[in-house]
C-alpha cells in the first residue's frame, strides 16, 4: 500500500465495498441467508464452497469450507450478531478449524482473529445495492496495520465473490 492509499482509508480502518445487482432485494437477501444458496456463490473465483452448518439467527453460526484449485481447504465461520430481515446482517467473520473453532489465518498469523462484518441491502428501481463493511474486532495494533495494508487484496477477493453472486443471481432469476 502506498502512503496515498493509507490516507484514503476511513478513519476507523474499515474496508468497504458495494455492488449494485440487477435483482430485487428479496432475492439478494434469500441467497445471502439460506444455506442451499450460500455454498453455490460465496467465496473467491475458482473455489468450491461447502456448507457445514448454517444457523441463521443472532447467536447462530455459518460454518463452511472453501476448496481451492489444487485441493487446499480453508475453513471459516460467521457468528451472527444482528439480523434485520431484508436490510442488514452483522456477524463476526473468522477463520476456523473443521470443527468450527476459532483459528488463525493459515498464511498470515497476524491477520485479525475476528472481523466485524456488516452487510446492508438497499433497493431502488428493482435493483439491490449490497454494501459490505469489514473492520477488525478486538484486534491488536499490528493486526489492524496488516488489515489496513490488505485492502487491495480484500477488494480483489470480494470483487470476485461479488462477481460470483451476480452470476448466481442471474441464474436464480431465470
Name which of 73, 48, 79, 68 is nearest 164 in CA terms: 48
Q: How far is CA 150 from the centre of its chain?
A: 15
Q: Which helix (H) or strand (E) holds 28?
A: helix 25-33
What domains, with CATH codes, occur in the chain?
3-173 (3.30.530.20)
Contact present, 45 and 37 (Cβ < 8 Å): no
Task: Write down the pLDDT at residue 174.
Answer: 54
Q: Is residue 13 within 8 Å of 136, Cβ to Cβ?
A: yes
The strand pairing partners of 77, in sequence order, are 63, 94
Ranges assigned E (strand) in the chain = 15-21, 48-54, 61-67, 73-84, 88-96, 102-103, 114-124, 127-137
Q: Write the pLDDT tens digit of every residue in 35-88.
A: 999 999 999 889 999 999 999 999 999 999 999 999 999 999 999 999 999 999
Q: What is the pLDDT of residues 93-117, one digit of tens each?
A: 999 999 999 999 988 889 999 999 9
CA distance 11 to 21: 28
* Burial 140-157, CB ≥16 within 10 A → b, else e: eeebbebbbebbeebeee
C-alpha cell at 174: 431465470
Amino acid at each position: 500500500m502506498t502512503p496515498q492509499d493509507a490516507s484514503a482509508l476511513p478513519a476507523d480502518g474499515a474496508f468497504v465495498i458495494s455492488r449494485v445487482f440487477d435483482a430485487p432485494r428479496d432475492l439478494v437477501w434469500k441467497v445471502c441467508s439460506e444455506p442451499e444458496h450460500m455454498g453455490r456463490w460465496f467465496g473467491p473465483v475458482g473455489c468450491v464452497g461447502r456448507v457445514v452448518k448454517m444457523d441463521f439467527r443472532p447467536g447462530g453460526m455459518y460454518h463452511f469450507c472453501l476448496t481451492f484449485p489444487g485441493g487446499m481447504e480453508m475453513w471459516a465461520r460467521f457468528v451472527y450478531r444482528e439480523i434485520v430481515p431484508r436490510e442488514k446482517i452483522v456477524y463476526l467473520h473468522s477463520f476456523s478449524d473443521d470443527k468450527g473453532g476459532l483459528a488463525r489465518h493459515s498464511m498470515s498469523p497476524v491477520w485479525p482473529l475476528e472481523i466485524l462484518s456488516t452487510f446492508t441491502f438497499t433497493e431502488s428501481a428493482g435493483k439491490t445495492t449490497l454494501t459490505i463493511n469489514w473492520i477488525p474486532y478486538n484486534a491488536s495494533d499490528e493486526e489492524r496495520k496488516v488489515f489496513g495494508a490488505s485492502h487491495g487484496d480484500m477488494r480483489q477477493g470480494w470483487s470476485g465473490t461479488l462477481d460470483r453472486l451476480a452470476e448466481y443471481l442471474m441464474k436464480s432469476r431465470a
